[in-house]
Structure 1
Amino acid sequence: MKSILIITSYFPPETGAASNRMFHLANGLQNQNYKVSVITPLPNYPTGEIFPEYKGKFKCTTIENNITIHRLWLYASNSKNKFLRLFAMFSYSFSLIWFFIWNKIPQTVIVQSPPLIVAFTNMIFLRSKNRKLILNVSDLWPIAGLELGAFKKNYSYRLLEKIERFNYKKADIVLGQSDEILTHVRSLIPNKTSYLYRNYPDFEVAELVLPYPSEGKIKLVYAGLLGMAQGIFKLCKQLDYSYLEFHIYGAGAEQKKIETFILNHPELPIVYHGEILRTKLHSELLNYDITIIPLLNRIYGSVPSKIFEYARLGLPILYFGGGEGESIVKKNSLGWTAKAGDYEALNKVISCIKKSELTLEFKKNIRKTALENFDFKTQFKTIKKLI
């Protein structure tokens, strides 16, 4: 039985796209009779605090679904202070090095990036040990940070660019979750072996029904991270509520601002439901007409995994982020798109959607497209060949 190690900064019980991506990868490998182990920090995302059941621990090793999971100490923080966040990344890197020194490392290692510095640590240390390194790139940093306004083009940014290039160069194989990521990698390292590996979901789907009457306002839902990149707080302020009611699930940096806004504007039909388990969320989402997938700014290389997850549920998508994600929604007739950052255009699109159009047949067609084109098991065959 071949052994494989996955190194990631996010893993369940943490929530979010990165956590789900690495869980499905680990589970998929385990189901194909690989001996899978995972190294990840003590759970802390997105709150920036170690989860209560893990507090006070330096290391925690468990076996879950026949996967050995090593959770290592880090200084947890989601502070806006760049130095604190940088220290958090370094602390995890130090824990990784300590683990590498005292433990046997499998010949094949899959490394998640970003964070760049954590990936850099793995590339330096494990490359010297002659391990086969597969770099799984889910977002382009530091480019994404620049587009989000987190970075400026200064010495620090140029240093991160050098680290990024180093990571691509030292990886034996680069997996990118979008065509834009692969294009960027090949522009830096032209002969690098690279493959498209999207974040397709792997879960059983419930029977589609229409549990609500067709009249009334459109029930629009957002579920996911309430972070700066998604811009849900601004969305709450900019939406035209003449045609819809807005429901929100999730947690993150903007949560308190959103809750305060709702409290100060009781006349607006906005409901915050908090954060719930992903399995329960899937059944909850079937009660809504449309889901919105927004990005505050168009981010090169970014394709939100919610596109594939919600299409599998049969939930019509209103995509508001531009780029490759917009092209996927249009090409596969998964719903509607609005020009990224243009709230007037967004409200115009919403005003043209008739609730009578949101039929059971429409939703079944979306699910059918997802099952045929966004299949985890079919895509996974490529990974097996690489490993």
Structure 2
Amino acid sequence: MKDILIITNYFPPETGAASNRIFHLAEGLQKHNFKVSVITPLPNYPTGKIFEGYKGKFKYSSTKNDITVHRLWIYASNSKNKLLRLIAMLSYSFSLYWFFTWNKIPKTVIIQSPPLLVAFTSVFFLRSKKRKLILNVSDLWPIAGLELGAFKKNFSYKLLEKIEHFNYKHADLILGQSNEIISHVKSLFPKKDTFLYRNFPDFIPPKISKTVTRTGKLKIVYAGLLGIAQGIYKLCQELDYTYIQFHIYGTGVEQDKIQSLISNNPELDIIYHGEVSRDKLHEALMSYDLTIIPLLNRIHGSVPSKIFEYARLGLPMIYFGGGEGEKIIKQYNLGWIAKVGDYNNLNATISRIKPSDLELKNGERIIKTAIEYFDFNKQLDLLVEKI
């Protein structure tokens, strides 16, 4: 049995795509006869507050299903203040350094990036000819931050670029969740060993109802983080509610603004459901006609994991984010495309969706596509061969 360590910023009981992705990776490796351990902060995402049961602790270790999880201290914050966010990352980096100093580290380590500083700390202190470092790159920072308007091309940005390049240089293998990420890495380090590792889900979906009827308004759902990048608040303002009803699940920094918008504008046909568990969410999603996957701006390297999760559920999608995700929707015929940032085009696209487009057979076709092309276990088998 080979020891492997995963270093990540997100892990259950935290919710969201990043947490689910790393959990399934850990669970999958354990089933492939790896002895898996995980290092992660004390759970705090997305609230920015340490969860009940973990407060007041510097370290909390537990073992479940033969996976050992070490939760380390972090100065938790989800503030928009860049200094506070930096302090949060530095605090976790300090905890990592402390852990590396006093504990034996396996010869194979998977490091999640971003955050860049956390990945840098791990790569810097663990790089060794005797140890294999695998960098799992899910977003291209700092490029994504620049496209989101979080950064400007100044000294700080140049420093983050140097950190990014250092991480790539000293990783033995780089996993990229998109072809754009792989291409970017190869443009910097042409000989670097890379592997396309999509965020495929690993769950048994609920069955599609055989008595689905489509009456009244089109029921569109968004489920996920209510963050700046997703732009759900602006989406709520721009949608044409003549023929649709918009349902929202999730939490994040825009939650209060969205709830206030709904309260002050009862004519907008929006229903906010709050945050629910993943299993309950999957059951709830089956009652909607289709889902929307938006990004406020096109983000280089980004492919929302919702694409693969909703495909597994057989849920048609409206993709409103551009980039590689748009290409996947088109290639596998998973739904409709609206030009990113163009809300008139989005409303026009929605208006053209017919009841016949949402029949049961379409959902069943999407599920078959997901089973054939978005298989978590097949992908993991290929990854294990490289590890």
Normalised by the shorter chain, which TM-score bucket?
over 0.9
1:366 paired residue number: 366
Question: Which letter maps to 1:19?
Answer: S
Aligned-residue offset at 1:129: 7.5
Q: Helix, strand or coil for the counterpart of 1:109?
A: strand
| Amino acid across the alignment from 1:299 | I
Q: How far, CA to CA, are the matches of 1:352 and 1:208 in structure 2?
A: 24
Unaligned residue ranges in structure 1 (runs of 5+): none
CA distance in 1, matches of 2:168, 2:211: 48
1:59 alignment partner AA: K
Match of 1:344 in 2: 344
Q: Deviations over 1:237-277 (max 9, x none)?
A: 00000110000000000000000000001111100000000
1:213 and 2:201 aligned: no
SS of aligned partner of 2:133: strand
In 2, Cα distance between equivalents of 1:90 and 1:132 = 24
Structure 1 residue aligned with 2:87: 87
8 Å contact kept, 1:214–1:356: no
Structure 2 CA distance for aligned equivalents of residues 314 and 44 of structure 1:
32
SS in structure 2 at match of 1:304: coil
For the residue of structure 1 that corresponds to 2:296, the secondary structure is: coil
**Correspondence for 1:333:** 333
Contact 1:303 1:325 in 2 (8 A): yes
So what's the TM-score if we normalise by structure 1? 0.99
Give the structure 1 partner of residue 184 of structure 2: 184
Query: What corresponds to 1:75 in structure 2?
Result: 75
How far, CA to CA, are the matches of 1:212 and 1:197 in structure 2? Answer: 35
Task: State the SS of the aligned residue for 1:52.
Answer: coil
CA distance in 1, matches of 2:293, 2:66: 34
Within 2, Cα distance between the matches of 1:349 and 1:106?
51
CA gap of 1:313–1:144, structure 2 versus 1, over 3 A, is same
- How far 1:18 moved relative to its partner? 0.8
Residue 280 of structure 1 aligns with an amino acid whose one-letter code is K
**Cα deviation, residue 130, structure 1:** 3.5
Question: In the alignment, residue 178 of structure 2 is paired with which amino acid?
Answer: S
1:356 Cα deviation from its structure 2 partner: 3.5
Partners of 2:212 and 2:360 within 8 A in 1: no
Instruction: Tell me the residue number matched to 1:12.
Output: 12
- The alpha-carbon deviation at position 210 of structure 1 amounts to 5.0
RMSD of aligned residue pairs (Cα, Å)? 0.9
Q: 2:43 aligns to what?
A: 43
Q: How does 1:173-322 map to 2 (within 5 A)?
A: 173-210=173-210, 212-322=212-322
Partners of 2:307 and 2:336 lie apart in 1 by 12
- Structure 1 stretch 209-218 or stretch 145-154: which is displaced more? 209-218
1:384 aligns with 384
Question: Which amino acid in 1 is paired with 2:374?
Answer: F
- Most deviating of 127-136 and 306-315: 127-136
Paired residue type of 1:242: T
In the alignment, is the contact (CA less than 8 A) between 1:123 and 1:133 conserved in 2? yes
In the alignment, structure 2 segments of 5+ residues that lack a partner are none
Give distance in 2, aligned partners of 1:201 and 1:189: 30
* Whole-angstrom CA distance in 2 between matches of 1:66 and 1:211: 42
Q: Contact 2:40–2:69 at 8 Å: present in 1 too?
A: yes
CA distance in 2, matches of 1:130, 1:266: 62
| 8 A Cα contact 1:5 1:39, kept in partner | yes
Query: What does residue 29 of structure 2 align with?
Result: 29
Q: How many Å apart are 1:357 and its aligned residue?
A: 2.4
Q: What SS does the corresponding residue of 2:26 show, helix, strand or coil?
A: helix
CA distance in 2, matches of 1:257, 1:100: 41
Q: How far has the Cα of 1:121 moved from its partner?
A: 0.4
Mapped to 1, the partners of 2:75 and 2:128 lie a distance apart of 27
What percentage of residue pairs aligned between the two structures are identical?
69
| Residues in 2 aligned to 1:155 and 1:127: alpha-carbon distance in whole angstroms | 26
Kept after mapping to 2: 8 A contact 1:211/1:287? no
Q: 1:211 to 1:260 in 2, by over 3 A?
A: farther
Counterpart residue identity of residue 296, structure 2:
L
Q: Secondary structure at the match of 1:262?
A: helix
Q: Take 1:218 and 1:54, find their aligned partners in 2: how far apart are those partners?
A: 43
For the residue of structure 1 that corresponds to 2:53, the secondary structure is helix
Q: Which 10-residue stretch deviates more, 24-33 or 210-219? A: 210-219
Q: So what's the TM-score if we normalise by structure 2?
A: 0.99
Runs of at least 4 residues off by over 6 Å: none
Amino acid at match of 1:365: R
Offset from partner CA, 1:77-96 (integer Å, 9 cap, x none): 11111111001000000000
Distance 2:62 2:348 in 1: 51
Q: Secondary structure at the match of 2:125?
A: helix
